[in-house]
Every structure is written in C-alpha cells, then in structure tokens.
C-alpha cells in the first residue's frame, strides 16, 4: 500500500483531523512578509511553510499564524497551527519539514493540540524586539537583521519616552494609514529599551499590535534618541491621534516577532526570546 493510500485509509476512519501547533523561525529579509499574496508572484514565509508541510503530509496543508509579519520582518517564535489527516510523529513534522524548507526558515518544535487551540485567537499577548545598530559604519553581516543608524542615540532619553506609550491607548498616530484593524486601541504591557554593545534593543509586549506599530515606535524613538526631539514628543504624537504627526516609519530590518503567550492548558514550549545573538 502506498503512503497516500495509507493516509487516505486513516483519514476515512479518523472522525476529525489531527491539529498540531508548530514554532517557526525565519529570517525575513528575502521575503515579502508572512502572508501568501496570490495576486502577486512574490516569495512569502507562509507559502514556503505550507508547501513543505504539504509534502510531508502528502496532502494539502493550510496554516494559521499568531501574527502576520511584514516584508523584511523576522520571527524567532512564530506560532502556527494546521489540521491534517496524515499521521506523523512530532519528529517527522519537525525534521522532515525542515528538509523541505530553505535555509532561512526552520521549524523549531511541533506539538499536538486539541481543536480548541487557535494560533491567532487563543493568543493572550505578543512580543516583539526591534534592533537598532548605532555605529559610524554600516554592518555587513547583519545588514538585513538590524536597522542601522550612524547617529549616536541617547538610550536614557528613549527610556523616558517609552513611559508615555505603556498602557491602554488609542495608537492611531502609531499605526499605518492603511491599517485594517477595527480598533486603534491596544494595551502595551511592557516596553523596555536597553543597549548591548552597538545594539539598542526595543522590547515590547502588548495584547496585540497594529500595522507598522513597532516600526512607528522605532521611528519616533530614534528621533528622540538622536536629540532631534524631546522625550515628551512620544506623548504628543500619541495624543494627537494623527499618523501624519508621527514621523518616519523605521525600516523592517531589525524587527523580530519573539514570543506569544497562550493559556497554560496548552503547555506549549516557552520561547527563548531571541534572536539568538542577544545575550538576554
């Protein structure tokens, strides 16, 4: 009996498909974002992951992710789920799928979950890190892994500024004009700024994020860090509720999706945050 026949026979007796949660890590520099764009012939993370999983499952596989990332954005803890009638062990989903993926995408782990788990709607909060390389000379090795500025940035001023952004606010000024979210209100639960050598890290936790929200945070904070605006400007932009007053949107390079929290009942592996070259 062929593998396809075996899978179909199992599917005939299986009342409901198996559901798996997977953790995907990817370097986004070579992709036009997470989501498949059928109207455009462009490479996306989702397309690569679905194609690889479909080969291992020997049937079409569609995935749902915790948070769609933009072109150039990377992920160290992107959580997805998918349903399948194919019976494979965890090692098969991880090691097998990785043999079908390009070098800049990897499955970190897989775990069977019940039908109540949803990668997007079960998520309680999400976390991003934005890495700014502040040095006189541009980086070569991480040119698509950090955002470079030749300016010297004042981390203390940036720390003062982020205090105005913590809490539940209307973030209209910090979202893209074309953002499709129904509400601009988000709850920023923690926002830290710290330095590791020439790297400045913006580390943000929130219940959810708006389109370009982190990159617009970064644009404002880099302006403040460079001494071109006072820390209170972050508050003034917030209260204006007008994207036109929010300054430039920082580049996507250097933005990492690093964590998603789910109810403890699902017992998903804990994120090591990342990216791997940060010490904490």
> Which phi and psi (to 5°) does residue 33 adopt?
105, 180
Parallel, antiparallel, or unpaired for β 185-196 and 199-206?
Answer: antiparallel
Parallel, antiparallel, or unpaired for β 167-170 and 74-84?
Answer: unpaired
Q: Are 106 and 23 in contact (CB under 8 A)?
A: no
Active site residue 70: yes
From CA 156, how far away is CA 194, in angstroms rounded? 9
Among 70, 103, 104, 272, the one annotated catalytic: 70
Q: Are 105 and 80 in contact (CB under 8 A)?
A: no
Q: Which token pair is 264?
A: 């403890």
Enzyme catalytic residues: 70
């Amino acid at each position: 009996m062929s593998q396809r026949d075996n899978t179909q026979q199992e599917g005939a007796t299986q009342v409901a498909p198996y559901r798996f949660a997977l953790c995907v890590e990817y370097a986004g520099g070579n992709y036009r974002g997470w989501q498949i764009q059928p109207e455009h012939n462009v490479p996306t993370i989702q397309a690569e992951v679905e194609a690889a999983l479909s080969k291992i499952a020997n049937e079409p596989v569609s995935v749902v992710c915790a948070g769609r990332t933009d072109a150039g954005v990377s992920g160290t803890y992107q959580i997805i789920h998918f349903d399948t009638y194919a019976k494979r062990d965890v090692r098969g989903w991880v090691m097998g799928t990785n043999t079908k993926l390009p070098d800049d995408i990897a499955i970190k782990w897989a775990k069977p979950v019940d039908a109540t788990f949803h990668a997007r709607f079960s998520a309680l909060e999400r976390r991003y890190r934005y890495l700014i390389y502040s040095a006189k000379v541009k980086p070569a090795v991480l040119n698509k892994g950090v955002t470079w500025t030749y300016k010297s940035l004042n981390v203390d001023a940036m720390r003062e500024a982020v205090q105005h952004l913590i809490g539940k606010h209307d973030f209209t000024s910090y979202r893209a004009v074309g953002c499709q979210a129904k509400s601009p209100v988000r709850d920023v639960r923690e926002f830290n700024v710290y330095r590791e050598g020439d790297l400045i890290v913006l580390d943000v936790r929130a219940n959810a994020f708006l389109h370009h929200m982190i990159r617009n945070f970064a644009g404002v904070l880099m302006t403040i860090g460079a001494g071109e605006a006072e820390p209170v400007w972050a508050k003034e932009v917030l209260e204006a509720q007008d994207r036109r007053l929010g300054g430039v949107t920082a580049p996507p390079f250097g933005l990492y999706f690093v964590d998603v929290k789910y109810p403890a009942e699902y017992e998903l592996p804990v994120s090591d945050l990342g990216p791997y070259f940060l010490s904490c």
